[in-house]
Amino acid sequence: GTGVTLSRANVRRFRHNDAADLRAVLERVRDTDRRLGRRSRDQRRFIVAEALYRNSGTVAPLDEIVKLKNEFRYRLILDESHSFGTMGDTGRGAVEHFGLRPMVDVEILTISLENALGSIGGVTVGNEEVVDHQRLSGAGYCFSASAPPFTARAAVASLERMRRCPEVLQRLRENRERVYAALSGDGSCGAMDGVVPDLLVPTSDPLSPIIFLRPPSPEDESSPSPSAASSSSRLVVVDVEEVEEVEEVEEV
């Protein structure tokens, strides 16, 4: 991404949501350090991950990633742009869902204001030292304009609603579960049961409000979790109240 390019960092990639491959990458870096006589504690190194991947609707195995981060003495940068406001009991994202500690288990959080909060821009969350360093040295921050007051107020209003109205998050979870039930044909959706799964198969994580669908294939019967395909379509579950009846429509 742009941030990695601007940082001029040496990048090592690991396979998507594959903790075993991440371990292998970290071990190779450690072996190189030992061969060159570099001390790992003198290096500034980060594991960068996205909590909820918008391109597949899958959730990162944060509990495993945090264990590896602690074992190899790295820091973790986590993008919560799509999980903030949709995961966790109070909407605080994947960190809350996995029972992790902000600023301890996850040193830096990045959050887009354009999704659950319905505004524009984004924020980076960290301890005081991290935030001060970014304010003084981050090119993306130094050369950006301040957010207009009305967009900042819109984000604050959304945060206040999340805090005051926990039923919004509960309704989102119920909608997500209802959609997955209809797609899986588990017997809880009445007439829809057994119809939708014949047409579409979900490939995303059941925790995700972003659901990817694709036509079924013969391999699905032998695979408990179908993999995403390039021909998949995306469905986004939102918080909507059930409308029982429409009494009148005014023509304009």
Spatial distance between the Cα atoms of 251 and 205, rounded to a whole number of angstroms = 42
Alpha carbon distance 200, 93 (integer Å):
28
Type of residue numbered 243: V
- Which comes out higher in pLDDT, residue 87 or 217? 87
Interatomic CA distance for residues 203 and 232, integer angstroms: 8
Band (181; pLDDT cuts 50, 70, 90): confident
Of all residues in the chain, what percent carry a pLDDT higher than 90? Answer: 55
Q: Distance (Å, rounded) from C-alpha 13 to C-alpha 89? A: 32
Does residue 245 carry a pLDDT above 50? Answer: no
pLDDT for 229: 46
Residue 185 and residue 198: Cα distance in Å, rounded? 9
Give the distance from CA 91 to its chain's centroid.
12
Position 230 scores a pLDDT of 47
Confidence band of 60 (pLDDT split at 50, 70, 90): very high
- Strand order across the beta sheet in which 210-214 lies: 201-202, 210-214, 233-236
Tokens 């990458």 identify what position? 25
More confident residue, 245 or 218: 218
CATH T-level topology, domain 2-164: Aspartate Aminotransferase; domain 2 (3.40.640)
- Map out the domains of the chain as residue ranges: 2-164, 166-236
Is the confidence at residue 139, as pLDDT, over 80? no
Instruction: Kindly tell me if the per-residue pLDDT of 185 is higher than 80.
Output: no
> Where would I find the beta strands (DSSP E) of 68-192?
75-79, 108-112, 122-125
What mean pLDDT is predicted for residues 176-203? 69
What is the value of pTM for the model shown? 0.82
The pLDDT of residue 134 is above 70: yes
Residue 101: what pLDDT?
Answer: 95
Asked which of 10-14, 48-52, 126-130, 180-184 is least confident by mean pLDDT, the reply is 180-184
Whether residue 124 has pLDDT greater than 80: yes
Contacts of 223 (CB under 8 A, 6+ apart): none
**Which pLDDT band holds residue 138 (cuts at 50, 70, 90)?**
confident
